[in-house]
Amino acid sequence: MSDPQWWQRGVIYQIYPRSFQDSNDDGIGDLKGIEARLDALVALGIDAIWVSPIFPSPMADFGYDVADYCGIDSRFGTMDDFDSLLAACHARGLKLLLDFVPNHTSDQHPWFAESRASRDNPKRDWYLWRDPAPGGGPPNNWISDFGGSAWEWDEATGQFYYHAFLKEQPDLNWRNPEVVEAMLGVLRFWLDRGVDGFRIDVLWHMVKHADFPDNPPNPAWTPAMGEMFRVLQLHSTDQPEVHGIARDMRRVADGYSPERVLIGEIYLPVERLMDYYGRGAPEVHLPFNFQLIEAPWKAETLARLIADYEAALPAGGWPNWVLGNHDRPRAASRFGPEQARVAAMLLLTLRGTPTIYYGDEIGLADVPIPAERVVDPRELREPGKGLNRDPVRTPMAWDDGDTAGFTRGEPWLPLHDDWRTRNVAAQRGDPGSIWSLYRDLLALRRERAALHVGDWLPVECAGDILAYARRHGDERMLVVLNLGDRPQPFAIPEWAGELAVLLSTRGAGADPARLRADEGLILG
């Protein structure tokens, strides 16, 4: 790559704003808090922050129910606070991405208030309204991702409206050109303000089959999986027309600068995910690749997964990798604290753009939430199904103070039990900490072109070893990861015989011919 964009060579860091830093002692993180911690992120070495929704919202789903796309929720601050944060990011060489939630609004959005006012309201068709099925009941069998029917009866107008998530989150009708233009206007509003791009929430949900047929039953479903999996979302997601909308969004972004980036949240098999790069015309720059979140932590499986993903990429398609986010269990809980270090090395040495979830850099694990402290609507609707997202959204720990430096009030969710030692201040002073490992990985990635823009090539290995080369021009690097809890031999390729160990997840004493348990190495 002769001239990569920042989003190709850089690293994105996701911030869940309620949990990052509280500046006014109400127990909820805010924009001033984020700004106060930017220098710590610069010290870590990231290139961009993606901030989960900060728009005005009743908070039925903690900001993913938007009541005004062009404002700032007072819990997080003001538009002046946002402008200050954006300027502070840019002054430090950081980019700022917003979380755009276009599939649905809050039921408190003025658009929906008009839509439900009467059947002949000009905005009636901005949402998805349908008559009852013959004989009564919902129009079809579609199920909300939060459980229960995806249709809500509106007594006043005698129709159902569709909601893929909570009933407080009615879906917009993206087949209506007025909706399209209004939402593209939202993108322009924030791009005019200077934001560097957007993560687009549930992009694959945005268009539904025009005839609303029943979804087929899922033959593999069991009650333990949760109700949303009872049917296959064949007709309620991933419709062909969504690609036209993605192309429209891309045209808007490209009209500002090739440095403005669009990232699509898309949970689909790889072969369907690739369509969102665009077939014939560009769509999103980075369709999120969640395979590391979902795959078994086995060397053979991951080697095949990485190779298949690389092979599937369309011409010009830039890869990306995600290890955790605000919806899924944390890496330290999935793999354990030692393998979380190996996972960090994997994330930051694969080809493509990585996204780090806040707290992963201190090895934060899922935090047990007492029943009386649960606030996630998904867990409250279907308790005990393993769907609770609260454990991965808990406050960041900055120091060993009584509330971990996050707030001087009562944190909105509990802290992790070991915050006195598992915090940024303690780990920044410890060269062997996972924070220091992340910092060193990010520094090495930035320094070596082979790591941030180079080719990826598989290396033959066996057992619990996953190995691959990174190559750029004459520069060659070798990454070797032991995904097991026992020492493993490794046959160093002949071409790599003169390479030296640059970094180990376990510090000094590394031997690339025999990796220690839970060890990752970078040779160069």
Q: Which among 354, 353, 351, 306 has a CA at the least distance from the CA of 455? A: 351
- Contact present, 208 and 124 (Cβ < 8 Å): no
Per the CB < 8 A criterion, the answer to whether 376 and 390 are in contact is yes
Residue with tokens 């390479």: 499
Using only C-alpha atoms, the chain has a radius of gyration, in whole angstroms, of 23
Q: Is 426 helix (H, G, I), strand (E, B) or coil?
A: helix
Q: Using the 8-state DSSP alphabet, how is residue 524 labeled?
A: -
pLDDT digits (tens, 9 = 90+) for 217-263: 999 999 989 899 999 999 999 999 999 999 999 999 999 999 999 99
| Helices 337-347, 434-447: inter-axial angle, 10-degree rounding | 10
Q: Does domain 456-523 fall into CATH 2.60.40.1180?
A: yes
Choose, from 30, 99, 201, 379, the residue flagged as catalytic. Answer: 201
Burial annotation 38-60 (CB, 10 A radius, 16+ → b, else e): bebbeebbbbbbbbbbbbbbebb
The length of the chain, given as a count of residues? 524
Structure tokens at 175: 């087949």
Which bin fits 326, alpha (ψ -120 to 50), beta or left (φ > 0)? alpha
Identify the segments of the chain with pLDDT beneath 70.
1-2
The domains spanning 6-102+177-441 and 456-523 adopt the same CATH topology? no
| CATH classification code of 6-102+177-441 | 3.20.20.80
Would you state the pLDDT for residue 91?
98
35 catalytic residue (yes or no):
no
Tens digits of residue pLDDT in 7-18:
999 999 999 999
Q: Can you state the angle between helices 177-193 and 79-91, rounded to 10 degrees? A: 60
β-sheet bridge partners, residue 161 = 129, 152
Task: Mark whether 61 is an active-site residue.
Answer: no
> How much is the pLDDT for 385?
87
Dihedral sign (CA 432, 438, 440, 444): positive
> Domain residue spans in the chain?
6-102+177-441, 110-162, 456-523
Hey, what CATH class is 110-162 in? alpha beta
CA distances from 215 to 133, 150, 206, 229 (A): 15, 12, 16, 11
At 1 the pLDDT is 65
Q: Which of 265, 379, 382, 464 is catalytic?
A: 265
CA distance 72 to 87: 16
CA distance 197 to 189: 12
Tokens of 43: 């010290």
d(CA 282, CA 31): 33
Report phi then psi at 372, rounded to 5. Answer: -75, -10
H or E segment and range at residue 129: strand 129-130
| Gap between the Cα atoms of 328 and 294, Å rounded | 9
Residue 154 CA to residue 113 CA, distance in Å, equals: 12
pLDDT, one tens digit per residue, over 23-52 is 999 999 999 999 999 999 999 999 999 999
* 424, 395, 98, 110: CA torsion to nearest 10: -160
Token pair in block for residue 256: 């500002």
Pick the closest to residue 277 from 269, 267, 268, 287 (CA basis): 287
- The token pair at 318 is 């830039």
